[in-house]
Amino acid sequence: MTVPFRVLQRDSGSRARLGRIETARGPVDTPQFMPVGTRASVKGVFPRDLREMGAQVILGNAFHLSLRPGPEVVRKLGGLHRMAAWNGPILTDSGGFQVFSLATMRTLDEDGVTFRSPIDGSLVRFTPEGVMEIQRQLGSDFAMVLDICPSGNAGRDEIVSAVDRTLRWAARALEDHKRARERGEVPFVLGIVQGGAYDDLRERCARDLVAMEFDAYAIGGVSVGEGKDAMRRATEAATAHLPEDLPRYLMGVGTPADFLDAIERGVDLFDCVSPTREGRNGRAYTSSGFVHIRNAALAEDPAALDPHCEGICCREYSRGTLRHLFHVGEMMGPMLLSLHNLRFFLKLMERARRAIAAGTLAQVAADVRRVYGSAQPAAEESP
């Protein structure tokens, strides 16, 4: 069984495509950004607001939810959808990113990975099969296999080892998934392409995963310390060997310019923590670039944060007011900027979809790169 996905239109000047994923919990129009709700909550934002700004799918994290409150508790509380008050699709990550971000707190072996919990120091064991079971208990709609995410600065030998083990673990996860599918309804499962900045390793990993026949595919191991050119090459090398009739998900990326780079290379789905993280820290994405709301020059500024935005943050609050909220420590400030940044990302994807349909994606990409081309990619939160 594969993810029900239709390519509705292709861009004439790139590999970008307009598509739709059909799920039991509603459609997902692509290209699409997926807000990150690591612990069953998108930080500082009500699910109602996510729906109103156009979010169709959100993320959870199997690693963090397995630590607190635990998959059994999530199941007893009605599943992740109930806990998150979200009736749309949910994708859950597997813990593969924590193999990278918690490198000093884990040990790897052929059977799996043992983490030292960042909460209480206890040992936590993850295996390819166990991660599948965790995500089934969470009630995920899309589940990720456990993979090895090496640093972007790792040497070739280390990345070869990561690819080899990722493929062996993917095969084990898929076998477990097939057995569970025989027992009843289970999530769609995505294989993850690793390979660092080496085109041949990306190609080999992609080809081997496709031969296993996963439901859809993701590109991992990017935005982990490598440069922009390496990120683009990795994306290009992977998408070139993934099926045209299935969704492609670029994990943990990134900035507005990164999105357009990847969309032009045929990527459909994105996630990143940067909208809420930057919002909490007083940095806003706007149509004219970053605004640092704590800047003293904004203290008496009556203008909207972004005059081209119709969201509540820009309709109801001035830059001076937002600066005041941060200056005095009112929680409304981080909430409003998080809301605004998420809306910016979701509307950017909506703009990309319209542009693909109209044949104007190249102009949209040029506009975005003009404003955000020099912005640094946002790193994932740790742990």
Angle at 345 between CA 231 and CA 43, to 5 degrees: 100
Task: Give the DSSP H/E element, type plus range, for residue 343.
Answer: helix 332-358
User: Can you spell out the DSSP letters for 107-137?
Assistant: EE-SS-EEEEPTTT--EEEE-HHHHHHHHHH
Question: 142-144 and 248-250: which strand pairing?
Answer: unpaired
What residues pair up with 26 in beta bridges, in sequence order?
23
Q: Which two tokens stand for residue 329?
A: 């420590």
Catalytic one of 93, 141, 258, 306: 93
Which residues does residue 310 pair with via DSSP β-bridges, in sequence order? none
Pick the catalytic residue: 49, 176, 261, 271? 271
Q: Show the tokens assigned to 8.
A: 């509705």
How do strand 106-108 and strand 113-116 relate by DSSP bridges? antiparallel
Cα dihedral 169, 172, 177, 180 sign: negative
Catalytic residue list contains 93: yes
> Rounded to an integer, what distance in angstroms lies between the CA atom of residue 374 and that of residue 383?
27
The answer to whether 188 and 3 are in contact (CB under 8 A) is yes
C-alpha 341/C-alpha 322 separation (Å) is 14
Q: Is the dihedral of CA 353, 80, 254, 214 positive or negative?
A: negative
CA distance 247 to 56: 15
Contact 190, 214 (CB under 8 A): yes
The residues annotated as belonging to the active site are 93, 271
